[in-house]
Every structure is written in C-alpha cells, then in structure tokens.
Amino acid sequence: MAKKIVAGNWKMNKNLQEGIELAKGLNEALAADKPNCGVVICTPFIHLAKVSEIINHNVIGLGAENCADKASGAFTGEVSAEMVKSTGAEYVILGHSERREYYNETPEILKEKVDLALANGLKVIFCIGESEAQRDKNEQNAVVKAELEGSVFHLSAEQFKNIVIAYEPIWAIGTGKTATADQAEEIHAYIRSVIAEKYGAEVAADTSILYGGSCKASNAPELFAKPDIDGGLIGGASLKVADFKGIIDAWK
C-alpha cells in the first residue's frame, strides 16, 4: 500500500520570520491532533535549517523545493543536494512545472538532480503534468509518460522506492480550476500502470502518487477518496495552518 501524504510547497512565499511562525503553528496543531497521513513541508532553502529545529520530524517531514544539478564547486548561487540534506531535510521537490517553464529545466537536467538527490539520501517528490493545450489535444497520458521516462525511469526498482510522484496539471496550478476527482483518478491510474509496466505491480502499488493543483480542504476529501490518489501537493493552501490542516484532516 502506498503511503498517504499531504505535502506543502511554499514556493517563493514567507520571509524567514513568517516561515518560522508557520512551521511552529503547524507543529503545534499536529502535536495536539495527530495526523492520519504523512505530512511534509517544502520550504525555500533559507528556511530549512531553522524549520528543521522546530518541527517534530516524526510527524512532519521537511523538504526543499529544488536542488542543484551539480554536486559541488564553482556554481555561484546554487544549493546542492548534500547541503539540503545537511539541514535535516528528508525530501526535495524536483520537476515542478514552474521550474521546467521559468528556469528551463529539461528532462536531462532533472535526471541529474534526481540522481544527486538520491545519492545524498533525499526522497524526491517528482512532479509531472500537462498544460491546458496538451489536455485539449488529449495528450496528457503521453506527456506524463515521457516525463517519467525522461528523468526517473533510468532508476533501479530499489532507487525508485524513494520517489513520490506528484501529478500536477499545469492548468490547475494556482488557477482555482481543480481537475475533477474522476479526471485526476483516470490519469493517476494510468501513471500507476506505467510504473507497473516498468517496475512491476508491487512497486507501483507502493508508490505514492499525489495530486496537486488548487487542492483545498473543500475538494480534498473527494480527491483522496479515489483509489489511486494517495494525497496532495499543496501550494496556496499550505501557507496557512488552518487551510493546510483542513486538507490533512481529509484523511480522517
């Protein structure tokens, strides 16, 4: 059975003080009311070391939103997977559509990042998903399959156990337009079938496949009720404790 996970992606929000407050608030809320799923928060790099000291890692996992495609050296401004790991973080988001689109991250670059993240003991939340134009042409299955083949299907089955997949249709991110639960389930089931073809049914069944894109407390229960939706990757609604907790509680 795949682990159920609700992960937050803060994106480029919250200064250090605000981020500390948010992490403290979430830690307190989940200490008072234990979650029924794995919870992860992925923060900007500068928050990681501080937030790592604040949270109970038995309840809340910590992740970065990116890491470098090089191990170390003269790459001004970059942050390596090893550095991320050294903060106490356990996860890193890779392949987010915003990084693919605005920072020209290609499948080859993402493959390098995935390899470095795993080599440094991080779990990868790997994002895939089609644009609105691609869905209009009914190309969503081909798009997500190519994204998996391009950056994670070179891994061994043993390595692939450290990959969490996040299906995030680009047209649903930050738009308030959520995929319907049926639409999401259809492609999640497809993604699981592609993983099964590559790694076998057992690995596929154990892979957490999260939905992301305008997920909130009001639509999370319907999405999470679907057999192939193992949780969510949450942007906007992860920035307030009550909103994020509302989604976490969808697993109760």
Residue 236 binds ligand 13P, judged by CB under 6 A? yes
Q: Which amino acid is at 18?
A: E
Q: What is the DSSP letter of 124?
A: E
Phi, psi (degrees; rounded to nearest 5) at 41: -120, 130
Q: Which of 47, 65, 90, 96 is catalytic?
A: 96
37-76 mask for ligand 13P (x: CB under 6 A)? ----------------------------------------
CA distance linking residue 107 with residue 88, whole number of Å: 27
- Given 4, 9, 83, 111, the residue binding ligand 13P (CB under 6 A): 9
Residues 6+ apart with CB under 8 A from 136: none
The count of chain residues that interact with ligand 13P, using the rule CB under 6 A, is: 14
Phi, psi (degrees; rounded to nearest 5) at 164: -105, 135
Segment interacting with ligand 13P (CB under 6 A) among 17-25, 76-84, 180-188, 211-219: 211-219
| 96 tagged catalytic | yes
Cβ atoms 216, 250 nearer than 8 A: no
Length of the chain measured in residues: 252
Residue 234 binds ligand 13P, judged by CB under 6 A? yes
As annotated, the active-site residues are 96, 168
The residues binding ligand 13P (CB under 6 A) are 9, 96, 168, 173-174, 212-215, 233-237
